[in-house]
Structures are given as structure tokens and as C-alpha cells.
Amino acid sequence: MAIPLSPVALLAALRAEGVKVNEVGNWRTHNRNHKGLWGPVNGVMIHHTVTSGTAGSVALCRDGHSALPGPLCHGVIDKTGVVHLVGHGRTNHAGLGDNAVLQAVIAERALPADRAADTDGNRHFYGFECVNLGDGKDPWPAAQLDAIERVSAAICRAHGWTQRSVIGHLEWQPGKIDPRGFTMDSMRARIGARLGGAAPPAKPPAAYEPFPGTAFFAAGRRSALVTAMGKRLVAEGCGRYKVGPGPAWSTADRDSYAAWQRKLGYEGGDADGIPGKASWDRLKVPHNT
């Protein structure tokens, strides 16, 4: 049982565990707190999205749908191992589950079978949706499983919990099957092994933001990372902004990045304003904590 981590503390814990993080929009204040309590928190719950594709899955988990408003979790773990933070506070991910399971999580002992739906899980669990169809055929890449392990270990480490504080949705609510494709016992064994090792450094080993991937820089993308990138471009004399930089990826961002690419010696189609890993690493965008 614990007070929920603040957004800054959560982000620091994830990065200290080596998690690749993408901050989505106003995730730090995006929640369902007006509908009920958030905390005390007792564990981490893992789900699968029943969707494919990162962008659509992240949008769905952030915004929800007509029958279930978002956010639908705290973070979305994509197949490349990037964790997209979409909410902080109470989120619509766990629903009603078995109080006997909650008591076992609190005591960190073996879980009983989930037979009831009498307890508010949204209050008590951090929730992470993993991009997977949940049909038993869609693969779970090594990078995605590693991210699930790291995210879970990071939160457990921050709260002083063991791996027994991590459960699957299928262990909480009768009739649920997620996550399907690996066992929670095997994942808890991985988390336990990680927690049993040396503690991570107090600060991330890298001073700069890792390259988030070309697909990150798409029309409509909003992230604090875009603002941080724009500030670095301005500092390098490559800013082409009339107003900003701001959190929304724009033509001005692309023009500014193209100027940076040209400064590095890229020409023609290689200076198209879309970040690549080599030019991104040389820009050295600082962590935004």
C-alpha cells in the first residue's frame, strides 16, 4: 500500500530502469480523478490492447471510446519496447475485480482464483496496456517483454514491492484473458530476477533523450519532447519558428530540423526535416523531467 508516485517521480523511476519513454500530450494531468479515488496503490496490472499499430493503440488508450472514456491506462507498451505515457491518476483500465486477489497482492503472497467483481481496481493499480491482438498468434517481441519487465520493476522498486505486486488483468477480473501469449508467472520471475540485482543509478545513465523513431514525428504529434527538440534547434541557430517552439510537431519544426541537417552536411533528400538517429544523437536533446 502506498501513495501514488508523482508524474516526475514515475518518469524518473522508469528512466532509471532503462525504459524508453514517450510523453503523450498532457499525460501528467489526464485522468478520471473526478470519478473516484486514486490510491492507495498496491500493484501493477498488465493488459493487452486487442489492437495493432502503435499510433492507433496509443490514441485509443489516451482518448478511450464512447462506452469507456480515456485514459484507459497509464502507459502503452509498443512492440519496439517504447512506453507511451498517456495518463496519471485514476484511469479506466482495471474495472471491478476480486477483493481476495487484492488482499493477496497487498500481502505479496500467491494469488487465489479470481471469482468475484466487487472491488474497484482503478483505484489500486497502475495499468499498462501492451500492443497485441490477444489472439494467441500475435507475437510478443523480446523488446516488448523486456519493457514490461522494466516498467514493472521500476514501479515495484520505487515502492519497495516485490514481483508479487504485479498481476495480469486475467488474474483480477473473472472472464478476462489478458495478457495472452505469455504467462504472468514467467513475467514475475523475470521481474524478481531484475529486482534481485543491483539497484539502478539514481539518475539515468544517458544525459540525452534517445531517438524515438522516425514514426514519432508525424502530423498531429504532441509531446514535450518536440518542445525540447525545438529549443535545441534554436540554440544551434537552426530555429525557423515565428512562434514557439511548442509541443505540436509542425512545418516549422520540420523546416528547423532540415536546417540542422544541412548544418551537419546533409543535402537533398537527406535534409528532409525528418529526424534520423544519427542527426538526432548529435542534436543532444536533454531529458525533460
pLDDT in tens, 197-206: 644 444 444 5
Cα 122 versus chain centre, distance: 17
Considering the four listed CATH numbers 3.40.50.720, 3.40.462.20, 3.40.80.10, 3.40.50.300, the one that applies to the domain covering 7-195 is: 3.40.80.10
The per-residue pLDDT of the chain, averaged, comes to 92
pLDDT of residue 203: 43
pLDDT of residue 74: 98
Find the Cα–Cα–Cα–Cα dihedral 253, 76, 62, 213, rounded to 10°: 10
Separation in Å, CA 72 to CA 12, 68, 116: 22, 8, 22
Band (258; pLDDT cuts 50, 70, 90) = very high
C-alpha cell at 210: 534517445
Check pLDDT > 90 for residue 286.
Answer: no
What does residue 259 show for φ and ψ, rounded to 5 degrees? -65, -40
pLDDT of residue 197: 63
Check pLDDT > 80 for residue 192.
Answer: yes
Residues above pLDDT 90, as percent of the chain: 84
Closest by Cα among 70, 84, 114 to 222? 84
Check pLDDT > 70 for residue 288.
Answer: no
Check pLDDT > 90 for residue 98.
Answer: yes
